[in-house]
Amino acid sequence: MSSLSHLQALEAESIHILREVVAEFAKPVMLYSIGKDSSVMLRLAQKAFHPGKIPFPLLHVDTTYKFGEMIEFRDWYPKSIGAELHVHTNWEARKAGANPIALGTSKCCGLLKTRALLDGLAAGGYDAAFGGARRDEEKSRAKERIYSFRDQYGQWDPKNQRPELWNLYNSRVDKGQSIRVFPLSNWTEIDVWHYIHMENIPVVPLYFAKPRPMIVRGESLIPPEHNVIPLLPGEKAEMVMCRMRSLGCTPCTGAIRSEADSVPKIIEELLRFRRSERENRVIDHDQEGSMEIKKREGYF
């Protein structure tokens, strides 16, 4: 037999990780972010346990600032493949008016994402949570383990990570502790799109270019949905041919100008692209090393 292509090798590795976790943990859950990485993870989970069902639920942490099209997709796709979905929101903070303009991006994220995530995991009693993070996304993620150990408070200590050798993962945790597991650790953005193309995996239409109303501010395209961003004098949303390269909350996720309205065209665009995908994420620009700080506190 000929050797596997790199995509097949990545797939085999991810399936191995998914099965290890399900075999060794009492109550795993998959953090479902609705984005392209989650879609790929979900397909890998289907493959790992076929012909059985996916043996764990999905958890979506809903900040309430997600795009309407994301929520529509969330309520349709997992159900269509027989997966069980839970949604958790930090309503306390949301009702108190948490938003990125009033609180600043990092505090808003802290409450609506990190806090909500930790509460959601605690409420379900989950001891292992799959996440779609990839090491190529951001510098501090390059050193993330596949099994990332978290203490009782969900915090990450980058200096005290368990060594990870071969394909042998240490799954031992005490009561109250948990791990985050990243089956896509070794995938890159183009691998993800390539796989979506090969496997014909459904993704949220926001990834595909079409004319959308956007607040145009210099290079940035800010989606007006949810009316969180105050308009400057004379500013109003205009129709721009654009798409989302990554999905998040509307106020903090910029769009990019693009004509790519299909998966093959997105791949072609990426081949020409020389900008990293998190660049249009406002959240990473607060300060150098901000992702590492968020992660230490418990963010995915």
Partner 1 sequence: MLTAEHQEPLTIEAFLEQESGKELLRFSTAGSVDDGKSTLIGRLLYDARGIYEDQLASIQKSKVNRSSGPIDFSLLTDGLRAEREQGITIDVAYRYFSTPRRKFIIADTPGHEQYTRNMATGASTAAVAIVLVDARNGVLPQTRRHATISSLLGIPRIILAVNKMDLMDYSQQVFDGICSDFLAFAGKMGFEEILPIPMSALEGENVARRATKIPWYDGPALLEHLESVPVTGGRVSGELRFPVQYVIRPDQYFRGYAGQISSGTVRKGDTVMALPSGKTSRIASIVTFDGELDAASAPMSVTLTLEDERDISRGDMIVHPDALPAAARQFTADLVWMVEDPLSHGRNLLLKHTSQQVSVRVTSIESRLNIQTMERKPAPLLELNDIGEVQIEAARPVFFDSYRENRLTGAFILIDPISNTTVAAGMIQRAVEQQRRFEHVTAEERQARNGHKPAVLALRDESLALRLERRLFDHACQVVALDGAQGLDALMAAGLLVIVPEAESARTIDLNALPLPVSGEAAVDAIMAYLEQQGILQSDRFSAGEGI
**For residues 55 and 83, is the Cβ–Cβ distance under 8 A?**
no
Site map for partner 1, 166-205, x if CB under 8 A?
Answer: xxxxx-xxx----------xx-x-xx--x--x--------
The pair of structure tokens assigned to 164 is 């990870």
Judged by beta carbon, residue 8 or residue 96, the one nearer partner 1 is 8
**Subset of 259-288 contacting partner 1 (CB under 8 A):** 264-265, 267-268, 271-276, 279, 288
Q: Give the shortest CB-138-to-partner 1 separation in angstroms.
A: 9
Strand (E) or helix (H) holding 227? none
Quick one: which of 61, 56, 32 has its CA closest to 46? 56
Q: Which residue, chain included where needed, has tokens 């990485």?
A: 37
Judged by beta carbon, residue 23 or residue 231, the one nearer partner 1 is 23
Single-letter amino acid, residue 35: G
257 binds partner 1 (CB under 8 A): no
**Subset of 114-173 contacting partner 1 (CB under 8 A):** 135-136, 139-143, 158-159, 161-170, 172-173
Phi–psi pair at 225, nearest 5 degrees: -50, 140
Q: Within its chain, how far is the Cα of 149 from the centroid? A: 18
Q: Which residue, chain included where needed, has tokens 């009702």?
A: 95
What are the beta bridge partners of residue 85? 58
DSSP 26: S
9 binds partner 1 (CB under 8 A): yes
Return residues touching partner 1 (CB under 8 A).
Answer: 1, 3-13, 15-16, 19-20, 22-23, 46-53, 135-136, 139-143, 158-159, 161-170, 172-174, 185-186, 188, 190-191, 194, 197, 264-265, 267-268, 271-276, 279, 288-289, 292
